[in-house]
Chain A
Amino acid sequence: MNIIVPIKQIPNLTDELEINSDGTNLDHDALQYVLNEFDEHAIEEAVLTKESAGDAVRSAVTVIGVDTTGELDSVLHTALAKGADKVAKISGDFPRGTDSHTQAKLIADAIKNMSPDIVMTGVQAADDRDGQIGPMIAAHLGLPYVGVVTSVAAKDGKAVVHKEYAGGVMAEFEVTLPMVVGVQAAHQPPRYAPVSKIRQIAKTAKVDDISGGDPVGSGSNVRKMFKPESAGHAEMWDGDPAEVAEKIVGMIREKGLLK
């Protein structure tokens, strides 16, 4: 089983996000970058799939990403500590916040000759303004794609995947490999990589460095970026319980969550 896990680094959402001076992008340089949390699940699911595939000798998990921060190495070392076998980064003039279309194309080009059985990536990332990389990689490679997946079981050239719909209903699909999977949640919480282990690995790890081609662009132009109304304190509703209940029902309806 040859599994490739494309990953993305995104701004740390715990941080206060600042917008740049011309109001069209984040002030990326002031932000700390972390691995997209869905990609953490993709790595976990990939390692679990490899472990359960049994043919340890021929199985391998390769984690690959576009280095948009100059700091991808440490993310890749963590992936190794969690059980990945190989790691690679795509370098070039790709700044922080590089669009999904470009990242997907670069990754597709880099992995098309690696003959993966399964490409597993996070179902989405918080900065996917121009869409998720999983389906795009699938389209570039001409492979089928199933996203919002919560478990993968691969055997004999086929994979059974569970895809989640709203309200917890799940669909089971059987897919002829190779395929691309967008992981929503691994069927076990991502394991912890002790810092001792990561530091050990960092001393000897080999990160394949692939030089990337030209950016393809997102296909659209952001003319304005802004923060929704500033939080700080709740907007208070007056009125008796019945009136407050009415307002709450209104909010639930607005979110499209009323059955």
Chain B
Amino acid sequence: MAVGLDKIEPGKIIEKEHLIVEGMDISGHWNRMFEQRVIWDYDVDKLEKVAALPGGESLNWCYGCAKCTAVCPVDIVGDYSPRKIHRKTQMGIDLFSSPDLWLCTTCMNCLRVCPKEVNMINIMPAVREQAVLEGYVPAELQKAFEDTAKHGNPLGQPQRKRADWIKKAGVPVPIIKDLKRPVDILWYVGSYPSYHPRGIDAASAAARIFNALGIDFGILGIEEKDDGDSQRLAGEKGLFEMLAEENIATFGKYEFNRMVVTGPHEFNAFKNEYPKLGADFKVFHYTRFLVEHLDKLKPLLKKPINLKVTFHDPCYLGRHNGEYEAPRELLRAIPGIELVEMGRCRENGYCCGGGGGGMWLDSFSKEHTTMRLSERRVREAAEYGADVLAVCCPFEVSRFEDAAKSTGNDKLMVKDILELLDESMRG
């Protein structure tokens, strides 16, 4: 059945010149009415198909209050939100083959406000998994899946070069296999910090900070593989499971007290998803870990950085895992920095567009929105007069730096908090 305006079928319009109800003449221009429409006019099969999937049930719970539409980052640059998805699906649009399926970044802002707990973080991966199985995958995303399966990272770089970045760090970065002894901290570096030039900058900064703090740490080197969490959210559950099994087996070979990760996505994977597959260790995002060492770190931060800095909360650190304070504490510890908050921050932080597979859907998302989320965010940072947009997620540096250029905000610097700490430390 057709959707939208076609629903006002001429046959369903009631128009009476004179209308007498219970003996009273109520004729007037309001006599033109539409026959009541009921939900059964629509083919709800498509909605039922989503709701029947494990994880997809909650789409059916939506009662159309629209709270989500107000906060969904994609709606700001397009026409999107769980409510709209629900409505369209209810009206017969097949989510499995609709571009809408790939626009949600699983940022979780909608779930935060939804009275009915309509949960896109479960719905999206469930529906996407079916779409992937049926072969509906945007080409860019497919390439990232293939690269991850073949090379252990979504950048398509050789596995054997995963530890090459340590030559650029300027300080020792021990590989746990070579140490042949237990370490206090196993540092899971992550794919972007291992391969992307701007990620390597952050990883190198982290290595210098860890060394300066005298931390006993090791990395996995070429044994490390991508965590796979974003691939899972993008619908490739099998790939996630394969990577998780391999990583868990690798972690199991070594003795360490705690794990520190560079990225929020890895943090989410190891904290919330890997335990379901049998992993058992304590994991910290680097921001929280460094806050723990703040007493020792602070005296090292000698050089003032006299800049106006604003901070972008990563969805997978903030909303997903409740960490808002640690990054700010680190920024406040750096002398000279003036920290300004953007309007959309903390619980209501805007999304960079990289989560849930968005990292590998750049052209696809751009085609279905008016602006990249990263571009929207960079404009906001510039509006607040920031010199630096500080981040603590390896997806973000490249996204925002690129967006700063493409929106003509070349002056806005994008830096990982690690880089700012390192700069201040190096004097």
Contacts and interface: CB of A to CB of B under 8 A. Distances in A.
A–B touch (CB < 8 A): the answer is: yes
B160 A194 contact: no
A199 B149 CA distance: 12
Nearest to B132: A194
Interface string B371-408: 00000000000000000000000000000000000000
Interface residues of A, number: 16
A197 B133 contact: yes
A195 B242 CA distance: 8
Contacts of B423: none
Interface of B: 129, 132-133, 135, 137, 139, 142, 145-146, 149-151, 156-161, 236-239, 241-242
Given A16-B160, A195-B236, A189 B133 contact: no
A191 B160 contact: no
Given A14-B157, A15-B160, A192 B135 contact: yes
Contact of A192 (B137, B151, B158, B160): B137
Interface in A175-226: 189, 191-192, 194-200
B238 A14 contact: no
Nearest to A196: B238
A195 B239 contact: yes
Contacts of B151: 12, 14
Most B CB within 10 A of own CB, among A12, A14, A191, A192: A192
Contacts of A12: 150-151, 158
A42 to B, nearest CB: 17
Nearest to B235: A194
A5 to B, nearest CB: 19
A16 B158 CA distance: 8
A194 B235 CA distance: 9
Contacts, number: 53
Nearest to A189: B139
A198 B160 CA distance: 25
Nearest to B133: A194
What is the predominant secondary structure among interface residues of chain B facing chain A? helix
Contacts of A15: 158-160
12 contacts: A12-B150, A12-B151, A14-B158, A34-B150, A189-B139, A192-B135, A192-B146, A194-B132, A194-B238, A195-B149, A195-B241, A195-B242
Contacts of A200: 238
B143 to A, nearest CB: 9
Contacts of B156: 14
B194 to A, nearest CB: 15
For the complex of A and B, the 4 pairs showing the least CB-CB separation, nearest first, are: A196-B238, A195-B238, A195-B239, A15-B158
Most A CB within 10 A of own CB, among B139, B146, B149, B238: B238
A241 to B, nearest CB: 27
A197 B242 CA distance: 12
A233 to B, nearest CB: 15
Contacts of B139: 189
Contacts of B236: 194-196
Nearest to B147: A14
A32 interface: yes
Nearest to B137: A192
Contacts of B158: 12, 14-16
Given A14-B156, A196-B238, 20 more contacts: A12-B150, A12-B151, A14-B151, A15-B160, A16-B161, A32-B160, A34-B150, A192-B137, A192-B142, A192-B145, A192-B146, A194-B129, A194-B236, A194-B238, A194-B239, A195-B149, A195-B241, A196-B129, A196-B239, A197-B238
Contacts of B239: 194-196
Contacts of B137: 192
A195 B228 CA distance: 12
Contacts of B149: 195
A132 B151 CA distance: 26
Nearest to A15: B158
A196 B133 CA distance: 8
Contacts of A14: 150-151, 156-158
Interface in A148-200: 189, 191-192, 194-200
Contacts of A16: 158, 160-161
Contacts of A34: 150
A148 to B, nearest CB: 24
A34 B149 CA distance: 11
A200 B238 CA distance: 9
A205 to B, nearest CB: 15
Given A192-B135, A194-B133, A194-B236, A199 B150 contact: no
Nearest to A13: B158
Contacts of A196: 129, 133, 236-239, 241
B242 A199 contact: yes
A32 B237 contact: no
Contacts of A199: 238, 241-242
Given A14-B158, A197-B238, A199-B238, A191 B135 contact: yes
Nearest to B231: A195
A189 B140 CA distance: 13
B370 to A, nearest CB: 29
A12 B156 CA distance: 11
Nearest to B142: A192
Contacts of B146: 192
Nearest to B228: A195
Contacts of A194: 129, 132-133, 145, 236, 238-239
A10 to B, nearest CB: 13
A200 B135 CA distance: 16
Contacts of B133: 194, 196-197
A196 to B, nearest CB: 3
A232 B292 CA distance: 41
Nearest to A31: B160
B132 A192 contact: yes
Contacts of A189: 139
B141 to A, nearest CB: 9
